[in-house]
């Protein structure tokens, strides 16, 4: 068997984090077996389709590094890969089902169905479709068509027995056929529902395995029976575990934006994670762990290393919460693994977006020290505020420019010596500054240790409590701006 799997989002909005997990598992499975990963857009619900959503979904997948082998933009032998462009195929197979007695025409209007549901609800009865049109005779059907009445095509679900859904993750799922509704396959406007389009497309695109969220288990009996009616073999099913809110309370719903869950902001769109400063390799690493484990007690790994280990049989069917605190830890680990140049390149767009102008050389000077301090790329702004804020950042109070082991006069003399050294240092780099300024600190503290002085020096130069190390900060500021900061600190002490 050639493994062919698909990720089939509806373009009704953004790429949801739960959908991204589904796409990732499909991608891993295809890459593990040398198969094909297909992107199919299921846009049969035209009323809810959002302009630009297809491009947004594809952008999100690309950012995550999930490339597809066939799809709307790359083509393939089984296209088109947008369902609205395949309407004739669905009509053909809906007619086939009618002709072979597996479906029937339903002339019930939306208002009639609504009224019947209300009556059923009032009587506390079954609110499903009552199969009223299933028993229409050929003459009754012809009469309604003669009046020009529109109709939907409904599937004739089996009324007795049970349907078995073989599932790689969950084992056999057995559903009594009495629970399977006569679902609409083709709407009165001629467009297919998800059920018909899904089954027809999976067959004609030669899909071998269906890896999808467990919310679709309820649809699986209908789909299994549709395959049987067509006389087609159904793909192998694997329903992925439910994704819960970070608190573990409730399903992570498809909200349109971030929301509060027990005091924690919960992101739901892939683009929200990107904009919040998470790395794509950290997010795929995180999502791979939501229901599956790499093994060897290892939580951080490149997704490429997960490919040979990934097995559907190892996916835990139990609902899994999204531990966002683990994501922050993972993101910090991936940031630490970046080179200074990679980190500088990754951080700069976030600073630019916030309107902070910082040169590439200055950013590169502090990038190495930032690696161990950042959980997210957006955190960089708080550390680096001193680089662009010469007037808005308040200078430290004079009484803070000292230390128990560095009295005021010693602090003043030390800062004066540091100023002279910074003015003359050649080359003007962190190593040169470290050697000279450390020696100055040792000479001006009562214990002969440089730590207290370097802390005062860092506060004088950066004017903030949390910042990169002082030597890199001076280089990033540049000689002239660093000297100006030192002059301000010395004047405060003298006053």
* Mode of pairing for the β-strands spanning 243-244 and 259-261: unpaired
Angstrom CA distances, 184 to 60, 103, 365, stand at: 32, 9, 63
CA distance 291 to 243: 9
From 385, 314, 394, 319, select the one nearest 354 (Cα to Cα): 385
Please list the alpha-helical segments (H only) found in 5-108.
Answer: 17-32, 53-64, 87-99
Please, what's the b/e burial string for 363-388 (b: 16 or more CB within 10 A of its CB; e: otherwise)?
Answer: bbbbbbbbbebbbbbbbbbebbbbbb
Tell whether 326 is in a known binding site: no
Q: Which residues does 192 contact at the CB level (< 8 Å), separation at least 6?
A: 44, 83, 87, 90, 91, 94, 185, 186, 200
CA distance 157 to 153: 12
Give the angle subtended at the CA of 284 by the CAs of 325 and 234, to the nearest 5°.
120
* The token pair that represents 156 in the structure block: 């004739």
Task: For residue 210, give the 3-state DSSP assignment.
Answer: strand
Which among 156, 254, 375, 385 is annotated as catalytic? 254
Asked if 83 and 137 touch (Cβ cutoff 8 Å), the reply is no
From 31, 29, 65, 26, select the one nearest 270 (Cα to Cα): 65
Phi, psi of 407, deg, nearest 5: -55, 165
**DSSP bridge pairs for 237:** 167, 210
297: region left, alpha or beta (phi > 0 left; psi from -120 to 50 alpha) = left
* The token pair that represents 45 in the structure block: 């619900």
The DSSP letter of residue 8 is: -
CA distance 229 to 327: 45
Look up 405 and say whether it is catalytic: no
CA distance 266 to 256: 12
Asked if 380 and 350 touch (Cβ cutoff 8 Å), the reply is yes
Give the helix/strand (H/E) hosting 320.
strand 320-321
Task: For residue 330, give the 3-state DSSP assignment.
Answer: helix
CA distance 457 to 462: 9
Asked if 13 and 53 touch (Cβ cutoff 8 Å), the reply is yes
Asked if 288 and 28 touch (Cβ cutoff 8 Å), the reply is yes
Give the residue numbers annotated as catalytic, written as ranges: 254
Binding-site sequence positions for ATP? 254
Binding-site sequence positions? 254
């Amino acid at each position: 068997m050639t493994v062919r799997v698909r990720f089939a989002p509806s373009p009704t909005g953004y790429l949801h984090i739960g959908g991204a997990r589904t796409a990732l598992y499909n991608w891993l499975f295809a890459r593990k077996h040398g198969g094909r990963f297909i992107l199919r857009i299921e846009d049969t619900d035209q009323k809810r389709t959002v302009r630009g959503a297809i491009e947004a979904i594809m952008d999100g997948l690309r950012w995550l590094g999930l490339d597809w082998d066939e799809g709307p933009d790359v083509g393939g032998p089984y296209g088109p890969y947008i369902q609205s462009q395949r309407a004739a195929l669905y009509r053909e197979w809906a007619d086939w089902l009618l002709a072979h007695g597996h479906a029937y025409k339903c002339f019930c209007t939306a208002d009639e169905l609504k009224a019947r549901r209300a009556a059923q609800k009032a009587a506390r009865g079954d609110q499903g479709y009552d199969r009223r049109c299933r028993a229409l005779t050929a003459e009754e059907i012809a009469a309604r068509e003669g009046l020009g009445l529109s109709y939907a095509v409904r599937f004739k679900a089996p009324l007795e027995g049970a349907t078995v859904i073989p599932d790689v993750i969950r084992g056999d799922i057995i559903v009594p056929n009495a629970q399977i509704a006569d679902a609409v396959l083709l709407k009165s406007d001629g467009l297919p529902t998800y059920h018909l389009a899904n089954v027809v497309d999976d067959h004609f695109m030669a899909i071998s395995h269906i890896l999808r969220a467990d919310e679709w288990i309820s649809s699986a009996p209908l789909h299994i029976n549709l395959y049987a009616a067509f006389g087609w073999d159904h793909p192998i099913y694997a329903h992925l575990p439910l994704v819960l809110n970070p608190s573990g309370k409730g399903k992570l719903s498809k909200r349109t934006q971030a929301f509060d869950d027990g005091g924690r902001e919960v992101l739901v769109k892939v683009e929200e994670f990107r904009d919040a400063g998470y790395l794509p390799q950290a997010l795929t690493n995180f999502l791979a762990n939501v229901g599956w484990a790499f093994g060897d007690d290892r939580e951080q790994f490149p997704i490429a290393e997960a490919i040979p280990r990934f097995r559907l049989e190892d996916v835990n069917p139990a609902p899994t919460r999204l531990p966002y605190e683990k994501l922050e830890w993972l993101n910090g680990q991936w940031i630490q693994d970046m080179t200074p140049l990679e980190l500088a390149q990754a951080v700069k767009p976030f600073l630019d977006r916030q309107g902070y102008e910082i040169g590439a050389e200055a950013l590169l000077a502090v990038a190495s020290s930032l690696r161990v301090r950042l959980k997210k790329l957006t955190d960089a702004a708080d550390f680096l505020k001193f680089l662009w804020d010469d007037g808005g950042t308040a200078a430290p109070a004079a009484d803070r420019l000292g230390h128990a082991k560095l009295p005021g006069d010693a602090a003043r003399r030390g800062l004066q010596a540091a100023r002279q050294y910074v003015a003359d240092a050649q080359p003007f780099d962190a190593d040169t500054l470290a050697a000279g300024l450390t020696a100055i600190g040792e000479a001006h503290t009562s214990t002969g240790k440089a730590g207290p002085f370097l802390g005062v020096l860092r506060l004088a130069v950066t004017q903030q409590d949390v910042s990169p190390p002082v030597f890199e900060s001076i280089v990033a500021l540049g000689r002239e701006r660093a000297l100006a900061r030192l002059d301000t600190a010395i004047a405060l002490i003298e006053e």
